[in-house]
Amino acid sequence: MSENDVLFLTAEQAAALIRRRALSPVEYINAVLAAAERAQPALNAFVTLLHDRAREAARAAERQVMEGAPLGPLHGVPVSIKDQVDTAGIHTTHGSAIFADNVPARDDILVTRLREAGAILIGKTRMPEFGHKGMTDGPSFGVTPNPWDLSRTSGGSSGGAAAALAVGLGPIALGTDGAGSIRIPAACCGVVGLKPTLGLVPWEASTDAFGNYTYAGPMARSVTDAAVMLRSMAGPSPRDPWSLNGPTLSGPSAGLVGGDLSGLRVGFIERAANPRLDRDMETNARASLDVLAAMGAAVESVADPIDWIEFPGRVMYQGNFAVAMAKHLPEWRDRMDPVLLAFMERGEGFSMAHFRQAQYARTGLFRAVQALMERYDVLVSPTLTRTALPADFDAADDEVEVEGERCGITRQGWSAYVYPFNLTGHPALTVPSGFARDGLPTGVQIIGRWGADMDVLRLGALLEAARPWAQNRPPAMVTPAPGAALTGPPGQVLPVRG
């Protein structure tokens, strides 16, 4: 097996080979780390590469295989962790100079569970400062571009994870999603990303546990890998109240077990808060719907006049950042991302009445989606309105252009389909749906009933089987010769820590 073939194994394939002693965890980890080093100068996907720790863990994993010890479902499989998730003894910087020297004393429970499943941590992936935007760049580390076109963004805020997956730097990654931050980069980079049901996967890092709409979730190149990862992470944590009596992970509904979807009712969301949809995005989304219809599903457009609460959602989002980040301004303002500062300034302009009205609107949106779920089993939408934005797009002030028409800020013009389901709590999966004329990936989003995460994964797997995507790989230009400068501010070379 060539090194390139090894890099593009699924986690399920790699774990099976390791269990059969047909693949050495040590050789596997070495291949992934070497590829990550080669890709880092152009891709800038990692904050930290854990060379010594990962190799030590791989040697231990190999000993366990040879000794016949019980093995977890991800035994010997490399996983990357977003820089927002605590890792004991490993820098967790939140994409910010403020936390450049932050080394947590404990692992987040999800890191613990992934380790217990046998996964080997290879590095921490890039994110914008505190995950505030749908692009991955920042004043402290430069840009993490899209591996399909280095002039475009990888998306955000889990952009480093998505970019790394797309070029074979591990088959699975842990991302987080506060307003589409798993699904946006997954769609931009042509991989799979799931925002689980609220409470299914605990999120211990929330500063407002009871008002939370941020989620941790799996990212992968295959739906099966996302499902295996989800099963490894699901379950309550005493630090997350939503998880204590939250949904439990069960199998897919009986009507989804086979390939006959005659009982499935699908509602297609053609527009959310966005005024326009790129024709390639729509064509590829409809091609995915055609697959479901060919299997017997009844597909119809959602005609209900839903208020997708774009502005109230913005009030909560920017208002939260204004309050949470205010303590850092006296010392760090000059080194913080200007987009984050702009969001904070706008958030400071909202009153308590605005904020409470926005929370009431969140309840209204939840009930509107619940009403749709009485009529449909799943909802489907494009994940984004167009392919990845330019890497130098100003997310604070620039307007998104869709087929030459200016369509508003990113939340209106680009990612309007994703944030509503952070607010309602329903599971939302993005899977690749094809490519647009510009050569970049497109994605389709599947939204399920509360707790029906395995249903959306099952439908994603059916789409994957009918319209496979894993054979598509980004151009080789993302793995330049060693020693090239990293993407970043002019003249700045950005080494990974480790």
Active-site positions read 82, 157, 181
**Sheet with 428-435: strands ordered across:** 46-49, 120-125, 78-82, 172-177, 215-220, 192-195, 428-435, 441-448, 378-382, 265-268, 298-301
Read off φ and ψ for residue 48, nearest 5 degrees. -140, 135
322: helix, coil or strand? helix
Cβ count within 10 A of residue 360:
12
Q: Closest by alpha carbon to 139, among 372, 416, 339?
A: 339
Cβ count within 10 A of residue 475:
12
| Residue 35 and residue 4 in contact, taking contact as beta carbons nearer than 8 Å | no
- DSSP per residue, 56-78: HHHHHHHHHHHHT----TTTT-E
Amino acid at 165: L
DSSP 131: G
CA distance 168 to 472: 11
CA distance 169 to 161: 9
- Cis amide bond preceding 415, omega within 30: no
Token pair recorded at residue 81: 């962790």
Amino acid at 139: P
Element spanning 48, H or E: strand 46-49
116: helix, coil or strand? helix
CA distance 261 to 289: 12
CA distance 315 to 436: 33
Amino acid at 22: A
**Which residue, chain included where needed, has tokens 């231990």?**
60
Q: Measuring CA to CA, how many Å separate 281 from each of 19, 126, 182?
A: 40, 27, 18
| Residue 96 and residue 117 in contact, taking contact as beta carbons nearer than 8 Å | no
Token pair recorded at residue 42: 């152009």
Q: Closest by alpha carbon to 71, among 114, 117, 20?
A: 117
Token pair recorded at residue 445: 């989003």
The angle at the Cα of 187, spanning 390 to 470, to the nearest 5 degrees, equals: 120
